[in-house]
Structure 1
Amino acid sequence: MKRAALALIAAPLLLAGCSLAPRTVLPAPPVPQSWPVGDAYLLQSEEALPILSYKTVFADARLQSLVEQALANNRDLRVAYANVAAARAQARVSRAGQLPSFGVSAGAGYSDSGGTGGGAGDFSLRGGVTAFELDLFGRLANAAESDRNSALATEAASRTVRVALIADLANIWATYGADRDLLKIAGDTAANARESVRLTQARLDGGVAPRTDLRQAEQILATAEDAIAQQKTAIAQDENLMRLLVGGDIDRALLPASLGDVTPGVAALPAGVNSQILLRRPDVIEAEYRLRAANADIGVARARLFPAISLTGLLGFASDALGSLFDSGAFNYSVGGDTTATIFDFGGRRAGVDVTKAQRDAAVAGYEGAIQTAFREVADALAVQGTISERVRAATANTSAAADTAMLTDARYKGGVDSFLASLDAQRSLYAARRSEIATQLLLVQTRIALFRALGGDSGAGAEATATR
């Protein structure tokens, strides 16, 4: 009898598992198979890039220490991890809905008529399956699959936040070093301007120079002092942003003294990489799982076109005496089932299938768009990397020439050959050339960081994506 009851409950379970979801077919990446080649790209090799770790790209121990602090304390990353935990829990909820729920109830009672002490007691213990839906058409299975893929997409999104956090922190760390250099340039310019004002005042007092020369020298000094104030503000804001990213206070010993202190600690990346590496980017992985989830949703919508069959089963024991509770005669069972089907709903369920198909088409376009965007970002970074060394060389040569011009022009002015205006123009050109050189050197570092970000450069993200797929 027990075996027959179990068979009645278990047999329909064997019918479940039929899925109406279409097979997921990922579109071919809509990008070329290799990066653009030409003078701007300087293709170096055809070897595939390894999966990148921030520790191999950002070799400076100070920056690594700040990154570790940020990964532990950044609030945006904590929100992303919490979203991952919620998505995983939702996937477990959906998976549990595919399985029957078991319940147990027990009761005991005693009655004595007239208080004679000859009363009787009864005891019951009942357990069984309650309200279990037979998943004949895969609705519950596809819903669980959709939530599972959504959870994986959320996890990939969290890795995108992680990569962005590392890149943003490296960028502001490098910017801080550049702002320290710009502050020094403004300070040097102000010191030279003060000396120029002093000498021009002396020449004015001696009747050698006009008052306009003094006023022009004072303008240069005021401009330099304004630049000093601006750079002090920029440095303070850099520190504030770093505190926000790391989620707490920062040790000033971990900050660079200049941009020259930053550049050696940020490694350059080779350009000759097959574009298939973009499939390891966290945002591309996220788009892929969104596509898989949308595909599973089609199966859910299709299953709603068919009847829903529920099963209620109960196996238990009932007896009036505790001693005979587990006798063979005490065993009882009951099995019941019901089905519901919508006969006419004005096409609502079929429209639901069309909705999920349209959402799947949008997910396909999103997947392809994510790959195309990633390709563009990497190609842009490689274009800058291919030419940045020439720009740094030209900026350095320009600064050297401007410094020599300023020195010679100042000497000619003091010798009465050139006007003071020529000397001022030479000083302005030198100031602009020094700032431009710092900006170009900062762009070199930022390009390396951008390539790290564009390639999804977190080894954990790449390894997890490969293992999951």
Structure 2
Amino acid sequence: MQKHSLIAVAVALFAAGCTMAPKYERPAAPVSDSFPTGGVYATQPVAAAGGLSANGQAATDIGWRDFFADPRLQRLIEIALKNNRDLRVSVLNIAASRAQYQITRAQLFPTLEAAASETKTRTPKDLTFFGNTISTEYSVGLNASWEIDFFGRIQSLKDQALAQYLATAQARKAAEISLVSSVADQYLTVLAFDDLLKVTEGTLKIAQDSYNLTKLQFDTGTGSELDLRQAQTVVEQATASMQSEARLRAQAENALVLLVGEPLPADLPPGMPLNDQNLLADIPAGLPSDLLQRRPDIMEAEENLLAANANIGAARAAFFPKVSLTGNFGTLSPSLGGLFKAGSAAWSFAPQITLPIFEGGANKANLDLAHVQKNIQIAQYEKAIQTAFREVADGLAARGTYDQEISARERNTFAEQRRFELSDLRYRNGVDSYLSVLTAQNDLYLAQQTLITARLNRLTNLVDLYQFLGGGWIERAGEQPRPADAPVDYGAASAPVAASAPAG
């Protein structure tokens, strides 16, 4: 009766899944309740008339096809989600974590094995009866064993493995939305180099024409060598800049190919120029507390914290007894033919309890280590929140200033263009020296380059802010978000498939 009561209590405890892990309490967010306002944050852009608008939707509800209007960029992102090797590794890490979780979870259940054996034994003749020195024994049966998890050690380990699995899934989600952002940033960089090359080509053509005219004047004796050499410096500088920009453009495309995971297809749809990239500029920032459920890197850090919390339960349970049940049932016979005859049944039942008495301080050290590891995870969780807050705040500061900066740089470029035209006209009419033309041309070239860089920075800031707010996980607005451990499948049969989510 006592044996049956013990088993009933064990089953009840097992079903309840009780552990000795501390009650989990989410740490308070170590950031302000709202993002900064005023100053550079005060003037946030709104949707232009007839332009694309977020319509008040959060970044997580906006599909990347809705955020990016360029069909060529959309196609590149689609290919990258199928082929990027880092993303494949993150998907495979999910499968590995799921398998590890299942291995740990299996320890909660009894094990049952079928076994068959033949044993031959030789005994010295003077120790035998009837002079039989060789004896044979055959057995067939079932072996069973079960560690009854009275104090939740295995349950805590299972909870730890599950949290680690979920953390891996969130890491994969973070990798995917980061990939979307990285492909877009690199694509825009390539477009910026295209614009820089066009500006440099125009500058070189003007410089070459000016040099030819100055050389003609020098050859005919109406111009000085100083003017000739000044004109030559512009040609040589523009030539060097063109080679540098062509090199950087090629390297930027190589980086894009690496992100995409295959050579750029020849049948890509036509793209849009840098200045026509109509990205959503009015996505609301929301509150810092929203980031806790929108940023997968923060959710990953919290799952790691939950895993560390569960590990404390396993370390505490190690101080208490372990109860295990082992037994077997089958048939035993001295001959193979007698295994299944009447009277050959054999069984054994062996409950065992072990209590740690002296471990050299190992259990105490393991518990101390578990507490330290939890404190580390708390700090990392808080740092993840602080990093997310800083990234969004930086993005808002940039978004609040780039439009005004670009407008000013456009006006400056127009002014430099007119200054160069007037300086060139005065020089050709003999009113001014060539030095004023040279200075104006250099200043115009610099203004054009700076304007392109500012346009690129504005666009990449909008892309990154979309990522920092958690955007890039769904393909189109209105779609049901996939679970974090769901596979990516945009029709590619070769795309890696993640294992399905484990049962709790």
CA distance in 2, matches of 1:175, 1:229: 17
Residue 118 (structure 1) aligns with: none
| Among candidates 462, 472, 483, match of residue 464 of structure 1 | 483
| Bigger mean CA offset, 81-90 vs 249-258 | 249-258
Residue 58 (structure 2) aligns with: 49
Unaligned runs of 5+ in 1: 110-121
8 Å Cα contact 1:37/1:43 also seen in 2: no
Larger helix proportion of the pair: 1
Does the residue aligned with 1:464 lie in a helix, a strand or coil?
A: coil
1:404-430 Cα distance to aligned partner (Å, 9 max, x none) = 000001101111111110110000011
8 Å Cα contact 1:200/1:217 also seen in 2: yes
Compute the displacement of 1:224 (Å): 0.5
Residue 243 (structure 2) aligns with: 229
The 5-angstrom pairing of residues 377-396 of structure 1 reads 377-396=391-410
CA distance in 2, matches of 1:14, 1:331: 32
Q: Does 1:28 align with 2:22?
A: no
CA distance in 2, matches of 1:466, 1:281: 15
1:14-62 Cα distance to aligned partner (Å, 9 max, x none) = 3444311001111122222222111422357996625243222123222
Residue 124 (structure 2) aligns with: none
CA distance in 2, matches of 1:368, 1:48: 27
Does the residue aligned with 2:394 lie in a helix, a strand or coil?
A: helix
8 Å Cα contact 1:269/1:448 also seen in 2: no
Residue 127 (structure 1) aligns with: 142
CA distance in 1, matches of 2:406, 2:45: 19
Q: CA 1:11/1:170 → structure 2, altered by over 3 Å: closer, same or farther? A: same
Q: CA 1:152/1:326 → structure 2, altered by over 3 Å: closer, same or farther? A: farther
CA distance in 2, matches of 1:191, 1:44: 38
| Among candidates 225, 228, 248, match of residue 214 of structure 1 | 228
Residue 12 (structure 1) aligns with: 10
| Among candidates 349, 368, 371, match of residue 363 of structure 2 | 349
Compute the displacement of 1:209 (Å): 1.9
CA distance in 1, matches of 2:482, 2:336: 62
Compute the displacement of 1:143 (Å): 0.6
Residue 429 (structure 1) aligns with: 443
8 Å Cα contact 1:182/1:438 also seen in 2: yes
CA distance in 1, matches of 2:239, 2:37: 46
CA distance in 1, matches of 2:404, 2:45: 16
The 5-angstrom pairing of residues 60-139 of structure 1 reads 60-106=70-116, 125-130=140-145, 132-139=146-153
8 Å Cα contact 2:110/2:144 also seen in 1: yes
CA distance in 2, matches of 1:102, 1:203: 101
Residue 113 (structure 1) aligns with: none
Compute the displacement of 1:334 (Å): 2.7
Compute the displacement of 1:355 (Å): 1.1
8 Å Cα contact 2:81/2:176 also seen in 1: yes
Among all aligned residue pairs of Structure 1 and Structure 2, give the percentage whose two residues are the same amino acid. 37
CA distance in 2, matches of 1:211, 1:232: 31
CA distance in 2, matches of 1:14, 1:50: 46
- Give TM-score, length-normalised by structure 2: 0.82
CA distance in 2, matches of 1:321, 1:5: 35
8 Å Cα contact 1:66/1:254 also seen in 2: no
| Bigger mean CA offset, 397-406 vs 206-215 | 206-215
8 Å Cα contact 2:331/2:339 also seen in 1: no
Residue 205 (structure 2) aligns with: 191
8 Å Cα contact 2:191/2:274 also seen in 1: yes
Compute the displacement of 1:374 (Å): 0.2
Compute the displacement of 1:9 (Å): 6.0
- Give TM-score, length-normalised by structure 1: 0.88
Unaligned runs of 5+ in 2: 47-54, 120-136, 475-479, 487-500
8 Å Cα contact 1:128/1:313 also seen in 2: yes
Does the residue aligned with 1:459 lie in a helix, a strand or coil?
A: coil
2:12 is matched by which residue type in structure 1?
L
Residue 49 (structure 2) aligns with: none
8 Å Cα contact 2:83/2:260 also seen in 1: yes
- Count of aligned pairs between the two proteins: 452
The 5-angstrom pairing of residues 23-422 of structure 1 reads 23-41=23-41, 42=43, 49-51=58-60, 52-106=62-116, 125-130=140-145, 132-252=146-266, 253-254=268-269, 256=271, 258-261=273-276, 263-264=277-278, 266-279=279-292, 280-316=294-330, 325=340, 333-422=347-436
Q: CA 1:240/1:50 → structure 2, altered by over 3 Å: closer, same or farther? A: closer
1:398-455 Cα distance to aligned partner (Å, 9 max, x none) = 1100000000011011111111101100000110011111011111111111102212
Does the residue aligned with 2:483 lie in a helix, a strand or coil?
A: helix
Does the residue aligned with 2:40 lie in a helix, a strand or coil?
A: coil
CA distance in 1, matches of 2:190, 2:485: 36
Compute the displacement of 1:353 (Å): 0.9
8 Å Cα contact 2:59/2:466 also seen in 1: no
8 Å Cα contact 1:48/1:274 also seen in 2: no
Compute the displacement of 1:13 (Å): 3.4
State the superposition RMSD in angstroms. Answer: 3.0
Compute the displacement of 1:208 (Å): 2.4
8 Å Cα contact 1:301/1:352 also seen in 2: yes
1:368-396 Cα distance to aligned partner (Å, 9 max, x none) = 11011001001100111011110110111
8 Å Cα contact 1:47/1:272 also seen in 2: no
CA distance in 1, matches of 2:341, 2:80: 62
